[in-house]
Structure 1
Amino acid sequence: MTGWAEFLIAGLIFMASHAVPANPRIKGRIVALLGARGWVWGFSLLSTGLLFWVIFAAGRAPFVELWPQAGWMRWLLNIAMPLAVVLGTFGVAAPNPFAFEGRADGFDPDRPGIAGVVRQPLLWALILWSGAHLIANGDLSHAILFGVFLAFSLMGMRAMEARKRRLWGEAEWARLAANTSDWPFQALIAGRWRPRQGPSMLRLGLAVVLWAGIFHLHAPVIGFSPLP
């Protein structure tokens, strides 16, 4: 299999797998079989494995430079990645009926938790990750990889929220979303939401460990150092 063929196949399989959460019928059958927690962990592991395959396949594709990398681009990555990891860590399995990675149970519209920061934390994490990496990687295969991820995340966010509006109706959407944010910290800036307790130390600690692991393993695993 040539580098470009592997990259194409890996990308198509990854995208196809992410059509599952957007299909309530298929997702419902899997949740009924595995349980809610089994679904979250199973899909997370599958997504992570496929993501690594796509990234490695992009690295094995022929190198075609589109623009050179400048020093400030790595600084951008080192600012964006801790934020992306924190958003993803606080989003997965949190009480948040707006996001596919969240839980419908336990959500309080008056105390929206992570949804007060932003309703789609994992997709925003992907936007930060893919957008910063798109700028810093100016070769053709990585421009395609991160450009597609960026577009996929933006379109997925709009599609997810539009589906929830249709499912709940405008009145219920307005009630649930009153103290949440479309853009990060939008509700906080507008004065519609004030955090009533600090962040989970467990999740924050996990985010620090994950970020440190990604930072230190980036060179041996991916092949490039994240240092500016």
Structure 2
Amino acid sequence: MAEIGAVYDVTPVPRKPTDIMASRDDEQVKGPEANHKWLCASVLEDAAPVIRDVFDEAERRDPEHLRTWVALVDGNNHQIDCIKAQALKRKINVTIIIDLIHVLEYLWTATWCFFDEGDPRAEAWVRTRVLAILDGGARNVAAGIRRRASSEGLMASDRKGADACARYLTNKAAYLDYPTALAGGWPIATGIIEGACRHIVKDRFDVTGARWSVDGAEAILKLRVVRSNGDFDDYWRFHLSHEHERVHRSRYANNVIPRAA
């Protein structure tokens, strides 16, 4: 399992819930664009060291902690705990926001507990609830999903998706403060990470017949991240310098040069 982290800068773009869930006829509002993207990744280490590296890079950009820090996650509890631990250690105020796309996935899973596949009402049902969540009503949406499942007399197996969605919205409500995020102009989706999973990991490692040792995969992953960050030329000069030191200078560090008899 590869862990990937990203740091990037954005210029805030305030939006409304209807801007996020705009219909085809509505005027589209462009969200905040990522600038100066930086990636890190590992298959050897778990989330904690990767998140530490993310904080190191973010702190390098903002050593005085004067800027607004937002951490986007998919809801993984271990990742959230690691972010909180790093923020506490460094005395940084970080707002954690769960990626809206993951919330949508749970909502669509719940949808098919109430509608047949292909039912045109399903899309409208999801849109109404997403707008409510974006307006700060995650717990109310969760309660409504549970009530509908009970009122329709669904068996436990038939309401499994609905219960999972309601549980997710309730448990993660503290990280679903989309009204603050939208008003502040912050991003609310992890497209940067999803894209990195594809072009850093999947395009190279997930090929037919490929077999990787962990160390080999780690080395290639690091190189792909270095190249993606635009640091390869600097890295290569560093590499050649240290190779020269290792092969030549370290061998004759004491200026004892062997001679033929």
Q: TM-score range with shorter-chain normalisation?
A: under 0.3
With a CA cutoff of 8 Å and minimum separation of 6, indicate the structure with the bigger relative contact order. 2
Larger Rg: 2
Specify which structure has the higher proportion of helix: 1
State TM-score, norm by structure 2: 0.23
